[in-house]
Structure 1
Amino acid sequence: MSASADAIVQRGIEAEDDPYRLTKDGVMEPPVGWRHSLKHLGPGLILSASIVGSGELIVTTTLGATVGFALLWMVIFSTFVKVAVQIELARWCISTGQPALTGYNKVGPHVGRLSWINLLWALMALSKVLQMGGVVGGVALAMSILLPLSGPPMGATSITIWTVIVAVGSIALLYSNKYSRIERGAGILVVIFSFITIGIALGLPFTPYAYSMDDIASGLSFAIPAGAVGAAIAMFGITGVGADELTFYTYWCIEKGYARHVGPNDGSEAWQRRAKGWISVMYKDAFLSWVIYTFGTIAFFIMGAAVLNPQGVVPQGNEMITALSRMYTDTLGQWAGTVFLLGAVVVLGSTLWAAVPSWSRMYVNLLAEMGVLEWRDTAARLRWIRIFTIALPLIWGAAYLFMRSPVLMVQIGGIATGIFLLAVVVAVWHLRRTETDPRLYGSGAFNALLVVSSIAIVLLGIYTGLSALKLV
């Protein structure tokens, strides 16, 4: 067979197995119960890998260092309140086989081919260049301290070289964009940093930086200290499921096969049964990821509050990594500094591992809505995704080398994410009303939680916007 014929056959196979194409051939009965569902979980691991990274290691720890235990309640609230919106968007996605930006584009009014929500998404994506640049910079800083190249660890030459290595390495590892590889890598990274971080946080009571139950209780008093509003808002936007994670979770639910196994909606009772079954699997996946990133977030916050705050150490600029390493060296000894740096590479690297393929898919989806390509053209979609897989790490790395302030860069992205959450809530309710089959709606308790979550996100989103405009 000729090379061109091989390529045609390969494209045919890809199209046949394309999770974004709903056919009767892809239908599969859903598993029942946790034991049978475990092998079908996975999108939440990618979500957790993204979440327990820049937000937790940088923003949450910095917040704990700034205000002590006072905002512990906000950490818990931030991770919990957005889950219902995440699930509702994924419910629509699984029942229709469509990814988030396709749904966003159905909410008018439009400017040209794009809805106002997708235009707002594009603005958020620009701010996220800074946030992801901060993540690339964090990995490069940790590697430069571990193994300086051509100069001192904090010197421009070594940091620049490591930034290039991190960007190029991300491209090499993720270029294939195979779902199975992305899920497996995310799972390994999540297990490593979860055990390390939670273990150290639980071990703090046996060190000179012990915290008490009174400290924990003081952090649950539902108050925001003066001067901490901006940091709290950034944390709400970036910790837990942010607007970007809410959005890209839909792509991974589809690529795991949930929508394909449900099949096209023929209105039958069998379709309804399959849809409810696979949505139930998604519930389990979302719950597992919530447990992982909630405990990871609390652990980072407690370390910042218990170790850094009493010493007046607040991570800033390129000294972020060395300041954060104090959480480990001050509790376990100097040897733990190396362990922390390796941990920082794993934690921030996990964010890159999840973010590069996730953002690549979202950018390509936006181009499809603009008419640049046909989203269901499997070969064209993969080609464009790989183009962004190459471009994004290079752009993010360049952004860091230009700005060189990881904490500020990540906080800017967090504020933009908080504002965009407003638009996501509008889209979720629109799609629920116009496209989600009413037979698939959640229980009364879930619907009540969805209302509460939506109101909380809207109020905090409005406050975020007014704060950004210096109106409050």
Structure 2
Amino acid sequence: MSQDEESTTATVRDAPTTTMGILRNVGPGMILAGSIVGSGELIATTRTGAEAHFDFLWLIIIGCIIKVFAQIELGRYAITNGKTTLAALNEVPGPRLSLPVGKRRATVNWILLYWFLMFLAILGQQGGIVGGVGQAMAISVPLTEEGKAYNEQVAQKIVRDVKKAESANASSEEKHALKAEIAQLEAELETQGSIPKANDDVYWSLILTLAAIFLLVWGKFSFIQRFSVFLVAAFTLITIANLFALQSYDKWSVTAEELRRGLSFGFPAAEEGSRNPLITALATFGIIGVGAAELLAYPYWCLEKGYGKYVGKRDDSDAWAHRAKGWMKVMHWDAWGAMVVYTFCTIAFYLLGAAVLGRSNLLPEGSEMIQTLSAMYQPVFGSFTQNLFLFGAFAVLFSTFYVAIAAQGRLAVDVAKVSGIAKLDETGRQQGLRWMGVVLPTLSVLCYVFFPKPVVLVLIAGTMQAIMLPLIGFAVLYFRYKKSDERLQPNKIWDFFLWLSFVGFLIVGIYQTYAKLFQ
């Protein structure tokens, strides 16, 4: 029997107690990692490193760790009550809105109203991600002559900028050689004229969206889990190896002083006429590690894995409490294990962005995003850089697009049920997921087609998710103190960190709101 069938027909059973048994039952966290490493780490984190250099390393690390407490609380509520995230959030007290939708009335509370706005921004974010995959493919396999010419000129431009950064710390002999190379590159660029317009990235984005639609309609939990783990693991290992190899180059190595500065809770100064790095960092905070979107999606993957069915319907028996505690332990392993994976990956991307992009004054943006990001691998891998990075970018970004759309499809179907728009049994839910597997990728890629600025799309969604975090934090505290089973309540140390995460969410949310309204 497949894992998907087991999740559907599972009866209550005790959780495994051995380490190997627990490891065989983890999985939801790695699905999240598959959707995290792309937009948060590869795009937003490197951009923050490029702008803030090493100063915000501390904020990046906190952003990865602090959200896990809320993640586990949402998972706790889901598997012990058998309720999805949106159903749970709709129980939080506060203003409610009821509107006629056809012959039914949709009734949602204030948190779900904001979630819908964030959901729309996330579609744009996924458009930026599939656009990034399209850029990677357009570089690897250009479809037009304009695309080939565009790739060559952008690549030369980036090589020139990296050479300029190298010359800043080079010896006098090396500077002379580098100046000659830079002059030659600039002469070639001047001869070629302006960079030609090419739409190969758009064409590839449309092709890849069709591939994603096929996988979304056909794929199920076990396939999504294996697919995500393979792609993320491959590029994570390459990235970490690249960072360590970079230490052998004096011009690019990360020094102990830079690490000390990055961990000293300092703030970089905003340069006049440029974007405030703090704004970028806080937008990044919303999507690195477990972002707001992943926090909301995690309980769905836990339920599909079977945790809720294994625990069984909540009752007052000791057997139920024993099962719930056991599967909560499995979920802790799952959540914290995934956190270790994506935190190491996030740190690696941030340091690469600061060490290479920051020193080269390169900012990944627009249709040059992927070409610019590939510069992080150039000092170590040289001429092999592009092929290596393009494989990694495709692996991570396509995995992110695929997994994130799968998660958002589940929330989109669920909100129809939770709000009262539709009454869905399991058959109706599966049919809805197949429809969402077509509709959501299509809407996402159209965002990129009409607004081909992937970094902007990702950071807009990051801002919306950062504002969503305090709402989630409030809901989590409500579940903890008003809805949790006394037999499963955590200790005071856990409560302290839960409150600490809420305070962190609140600060980020308030600052982002203020920045958007008044700056």
Instruction: Provide TM-score, normalisation by structure 2.
Output: 0.85
**Greater gyration radius:** 2
The answer to whether 1:110 aligns with 2:96 is yes
Residues 65 and 285 (structure 1 numbering): CA distance in 2 closer, same or farther, change over 3 Å? same
Please say if residues 151 and 157 of structure 1, whose CA atoms lie closer than 8 Å, have aligned partners that are also in contact. no
Per the alignment, residue 453 of structure 1 pairs with: 501
Equivalents in 2 of 1:470, 1:200: separation in Å?
40
Q: What residue in structure 2 maps to residue 170 of structure 1?
A: 212
Q: 2:136 aligns with which of 135, 139, 142?
A: 142
* Closer, same or farther: CA 163–157 of 1 in aligned 2, 3 Å: same
1:210 partnered with 2:253: yes
Match of 2:23 among 33, 38, 41: 38
CA distance in 2, matches of 1:374, 1:181: 28
Query: How far does the alpha carbon of each residue in 1:235-270 deviate from its partner, in whole angstroms, 9 at most, with x for none?
Result: 111111111100000000000011100001121000
Q: For 2:305 and 2:7, how far apart are their aligned partners in 1?
A: 11
Range moving further from structure 2, 383-392 or 329-338: 329-338
2:69 maps to 1:75: no
- The residue that corresponds to 1:91 in the other structure is 76
Separation in 2, partners of 1:188, 1:290: 17
- Find the counterpart in structure 2 of residue 61 from structure 1: 46
> SS at the partner of 2:146?
coil
2:145 is paired with a residue whose SS is: coil
In the other structure, the counterpart of 2:85 is 100
Structure 2: any 5+ residue segments left out of the alignment?
99-106, 151-196, 271-276
Does the 8 Å contact 2:7/2:306 carry over to 1?
Answer: no
Q: 2:266 aligns with which of 203, 216, 223?
A: 223
SS at match of 1:70: coil
User: In the aligned structure 1, how far is the partner of 2:430 from the partner of 2:59?
Assistant: 39
Q: Distance in 2 between matches of 1:467 and 1:279?
A: 38
Partner SS for 2:518 = coil
Question: Using the alignment, how far apart are the partners of 1:86 and 1:370 within structure 2?
Answer: 23
Asked if 1:287 is matched to 2:281, the reply is no
What's the secondary structure of 2:55's corresponding residue?
A: helix
Q: What CA distance in whole angstroms lies between the structure 2 residues aligned with 1:410 and 1:369?
A: 28
Contact 2:65-2:289 at 8 Å conserved across structures: yes
Deviates more, 1:99-108 or 1:428-437: 428-437
Q: Read off the aligned partner of 1:219 and give its amino acid letter.
A: G
The answer to whether the 8 A contact 1:243-1:421 is kept is: yes
Segment of structure 1 superposing worse, 25-34 or 338-347: 25-34
What amino acid sits opposite 2:145 in the alignment? G
Q: What is the distance in 2 between the residues matched to 1:259 and 1:212?
A: 47
Identity %: 39
- Once the two structures are superposed, the pairs formed by residues 235-246 of structure 1 within 5 Å of their partners are 235-246=284-295
Alignment counterpart, residue 115 of structure 2, candidates 101, 105, 121 = 121
* Cα distance, 1:312–1:344 mapped onto 2, change above 3 Å: same
Q: Distance in 1 between matches of 2:56 and 2:478?
A: 33
Say yes or no: does 1:362 pair with 2:431. no
Q: 1:367 to 1:156 in 2, by over 3 A?
A: farther
In the aligned structure 2, how far is the partner of 1:213 from the partner of 1:226?
Answer: 21
**Residue type at the aligned position of 2:109:** S
Q: Is the 8 A contact 2:131 2:202 kept in 1?
A: no
TM-score, scaled relative to structure 1: 0.93
Change (3 A) 1:387 1:458: same
Letter in 1 for 2:374: S
Equivalence for 1:262: 311
CA positional deviation for 1:42: 0.2
Alpha-carbon separation, structure 2, partners of 1:326 and 1:126: 32
Q: Distance in 2 between matches of 1:138 and 1:160?
A: 10
Q: Please state whether the residue corresponding to 1:202 is helix, strand or coil.
A: helix
Aligned partners of 2:269, 2:85: CA distance in 1, in Å? 37
Aligned to 1:349: 398
Deviations 1:38-95 (Å, cap 9, x if unpaired)?
1100001101011111111111101111121111111101101111111111111110
Equivalent residues in 2 for 1:243-392, closer than 5 Å: 243-375=292-424, 377-392=425-440
Per-residue deviation, 1:218? 0.9
CA distance 1:297–1:15, shift in 2 (3 Å): closer
Aligned alpha-carbon RMSD (Å): 1.8
Per the alignment, in what secondary structure is the counterpart of residue 348 of structure 1? Answer: helix
Give the direction of change, closer, same or farther, for the CA distance of 1:15–1:219 in structure 2 (3 Å limit). closer
- In 2, the alpha carbon distance for the partners of 1:200 and 1:174 equals 32
What is the distance in 1 between the residues matched to 2:6 and 2:380? 51
Q: Distance in 2 between matches of 1:168 and 1:276?
A: 42
- Partners in 2 of 1:110 and 1:26 — Cα distance? 36
Instruction: Answer yes or no: is the 8 Å Cα contact 2:52–2:354 preserved in 1.
Output: yes
Distance 2:492 2:394 in 1: 43
Partner amino acid, structure 2, of 1:304: G
Alpha-carbon distance in structure 1 between the residues aligned to 2:474 and 2:229 = 32
In 2, the alpha carbon distance for the partners of 1:145 and 1:294 equals 29
- Deviation, structure 1 residue 177: 3.9
Counterpart of 1:195 in structure 2: which amino acid? L
Tell me whether 85-94 or 423-432 shows the greater mean CA deviation: 423-432
1:353-375 CA distance string (max 9 Å, x none): 21111000000111112223334
Structure 1 segment 196-207 matched on structure 2, within 5 A: 196-207=238-249
State the shift of 1:16 in Å.
Answer: 9.4
Report how many aligned residue pairs link the two structures: 454
Aligned to 1:130: 124
**Residues 195 and 48 of structure 1, relative CA distance in 2, 3 Å threshold:** same
Query: How far apart, CA to CA, are the structure 2 residues paired with 1:448 and 1:145?
Result: 49
Contact 2:7 2:305 in 1 (8 A): no
- Find the counterpart in structure 1 of residue 465 from structure 2: 417
Q: Deviations over 1:13-52 (max 9, x none)?
A: x999775x9xxx6101111142220110000110101111
Q: CA 1:308–1:52 in 2, change beyond 3 Å: closer, same or farther?
A: same
Summarize the Cα distance change of 1:214–1:57 in structure 2 as closer, same or farther, 3 Å threshold. same
Per the alignment, in what secondary structure is the counterpart of residue 111 of structure 1? strand
The answer as to whether partners of 1:373 and 1:381 remain within 8 angstroms in 2 is no
User: 1:177 touches 1:357 (CA, 8 Å); kept in 2?
Assistant: no
